[in-house]
Amino acid sequence: MAAAKKAVLGPLVGAVDQGTSSTRFLVFNSKTAELLSHHQVEIKQEFPREGWVEQDPKEILQSVYECIEKTCEKLGQLNIDISNIKAIGVSNQRETTVVWDKLTGEPLYNAVVWLDLRTQSTVENLSKRIPGNNNFVKSKTGLPLSTYFSAVKLRWLLDNVRKVQRAVEEDRALFGTIDSWLIWSLTGGAHGGVHCTDVTNASRTMLFNIHSLEWDKELCEFFEIPMKILPNVRSSSEIYGLMKAGALEGVPISGCLGDQSAALVGQMCFQDGQAKNTYGTGCFLLCNTGRKCVFSEHGLLTTVAYKLGRDKPVYYALEGSVAIAGAVIRWLRDNLGIIKTSEEIEKLAKEVGTSYGCYFVPAFSGLYAPYWEPSARGIICGLTQFTNKCHIAFAALEAVCFQTREILDAMNRDCGIPLSHLQVDGGMTNNKILMQLQADILYIPVVKPSMPETTALGAAMAAGAAEGVGVWSLEPEDLSAVTMERFEPQINAEESEIRYSTWKKAVMKSVGWVTTQSSESGDPSIFCSLPLGFFIVSSMVMLIGARYISGIP
């Protein structure tokens, strides 16, 4: 019997979407933007000390290979010929820092994740060296001095890890964010791998001048980072190298965007003033500001949005960054055991339809935009005897929405023209209660594409449009129309404002928990390491005590 004929779909483009919680590989039809197949693998996070967050770079790399192989198998089962995959794009968690040995290909330490807080004393010491009237770090990078960005993580590795120090001395060390580690490894590793990054990822290191689009000598001297270990900076859309192993050997890697920039491209926010909000491990609101850098007066970051070709102009964005969004759901699952799967939170929240006055500020890694307050830690407040796990689940979803409201308010003040609606994407947008809550709390419509994988789509678009590939047109008339789901506000504006003002009161109570000494020592006080537990337990003890004092059995 003759073999079944392979389906002919025209050129396909693959995308590696390497996030904080998982790795995925997705394949799109370049003519219709249709998602054909994908595979996903969850990534472990390690917490060796209070405030430390690490991942294994080799596990991340292996997960990429596994996702590619499994997706190719699924395409085969759909009778789709994988030889039609003409390019691969890479989208990645930003800021997460890796140092590896270029001779062996071995990581010299775990990846230090963007959420990690171990560098707080480093940040405080460095901030004393910046003149009050000349914040050259912010003016060159668009970023506040924070534990969030790569330069201070790299500084910690150079100061504290002997293997890293020795490799730098012996000229064996290479530094990169996750995109660099993956591209170097996938294009040959120790046997000719390409050591590069793109402008969007470089702009998150605090070593990159976002005006000249180059590594900045003054910044590298300030952080005492040897420039020889840095990757070459390229555009977000060009051929970097070819896959050297696996089912897609020989396919060019030709797109690279930090995950939030990739989502901006995938949402087709190519015009000045267009914005999107992505709900992943964290929550990230980006607004395209065109070819000009706009500096925020309200706690937002200035960052590179994309540069879609070597000879194409660079575009910039304002960004509001929230550290904990989907991560709070994972915490309820893994740490408290309130839910067994992340999807269960919608069911719990639906049972009660309210937090019943309970507020959850998930400041596990301090507060990012618009506060930039590293001393904050998570709290649950407003507990009563009536509060149960369903109310806490609802409060966790509300927390994501309140944090988005804070950065949207800052964005509106900086831009001067309030957004009339919010375009959203990311895994959490499948939760309809979350989306309705978001519309209620913002008091504007929330608009969600029917295909929520916009981060991977953006990386695929950049890869397919690259010079030498040319299978994906980014001309406005060629971009596929996207069907949208719309959520309208269903509460009155007054109620929305009351809930928001109570949330802000809760935020203020989360600030000031941690001192530098406790956050770095690995032996923090009970108030630093377990403020959330302290609130829950102390409230329960008070309730039990009250019952017995009242004579209630």
**pLDDT digit string, tens, across residues 295-341:** 888 889 999 999 999 999 999 999 988 888 888 888 999 898 988 88
Q: Which residues contact 331 (CB under 8 A, 6 or more apart)?
A: 324, 362, 364
Q: Which residues contact 172 (CB under 8 A, 6 or more apart)?
A: 101, 102, 103
Between CA 329 and CA 343 the distance in angstroms is 9
Q: Which helix (H) or strand (E) holds 288?
A: strand 283-290
Bridge partners of residue 24, in order along the sequence: 17, 40
Three-class SS state of 208: strand
Question: Residue 240: its pLDDT value, please?
Answer: 97
How big is the chain, counted in residues?
A: 553
- Number of Cβ within 10 Å of residue 77's Cβ equals 8
Give, as one character, the DSSP assignment of residue 476: G
Question: Residue 161: its pLDDT value, please?
Answer: 94
Q: Which helix (H) or strand (E) holds 322?
A: strand 315-322
One-letter amino acid of 267: Q
183 neighbors 196 (Cβ within 8 angstroms):
yes
Three-class SS state of 373: strand
Bridge partners of residue 28, in order along the sequence: 13, 35
Q: Which residues contact 337 (CB under 8 A, 6 or more apart)?
A: none
Question: Residue 31: its pLDDT value, please?
Answer: 87
Rg value, the chain, Cα:
23
Give, as one character, the DSSP assignment of residue 335: I
Q: How many CA atoms are closer than 13 Å to the CA of 58, on its beta-carbon side? A: 9
Give, as one character, the DSSP assignment of residue 336: I
> Which residue stretches of the chain have pLDDT < 50?
1-3, 517-553
- Specify the residue for token string 């003890």: 541
Joined tokens for residue 15? 């995308």
Q: What is the pTM of this model?
A: 0.84
Joined tokens for residue 123? 């940040």
Question: In terms of Cα–Cα distance, which of 66, 50, 455 is closest to 247?
Answer: 66
Question: In terms of Cα–Cα distance, which of 167, 175, 184 is closest to 207?
Answer: 175
DSSP notation for 393-436:
HHHHHHHHHHHHHHHHHHHHHHHSS--SSEEEESGGGG-HHHHH
Between CA 496 and CA 266 the distance in angstroms is 31
- Number of Cβ within 10 Å of residue 232's Cβ equals 12
Helices (H), 78-190: 120-127, 136-141, 150-160, 162-169, 178-186
Q: Which residues contact 103 (CB under 8 A, 6 or more apart)?
A: 172, 190
182 neighbors 16 (Cβ within 8 angstroms):
yes
Question: Residue 538: its pLDDT value, please?
Answer: 43
Q: How many CA atoms are closer than 13 Å to the CA of 208, on its beta-carbon side? A: 25
Q: What is the pLDDT of residues 92-145, one digit of tens each?
A: 999 999 999 999 999 999 999 998 989 988 888 888 888 766 688 899 999 988
Question: Residue 7: its pLDDT value, please?
Answer: 57
431 neighbors 339 (Cβ within 8 angstroms):
no
- How far is Cα of residue 411 from the mean position of the Cα atoms in its chain? 18
User: What are the backbone dihedrals phi and psi of residue 27, each rounded to the nearest 5 degrees, phi first?
Assistant: -120, 130
Joined tokens for residue 28? 């799109």
Joined tokens for residue 40? 């996903």
Three-class SS state of 291: coil
pLDDT > 70: percent of the chain: 90
Between CA 183 and CA 232 the distance in angstroms is 12
Q: How many CA atoms are closer than 13 Å to the CA of 108, on its beta-carbon side? A: 24
Joined tokens for residue 407? 């950065």
Three-class SS state of 523: coil
- Number of Cβ within 10 Å of residue 385's Cβ equals 11
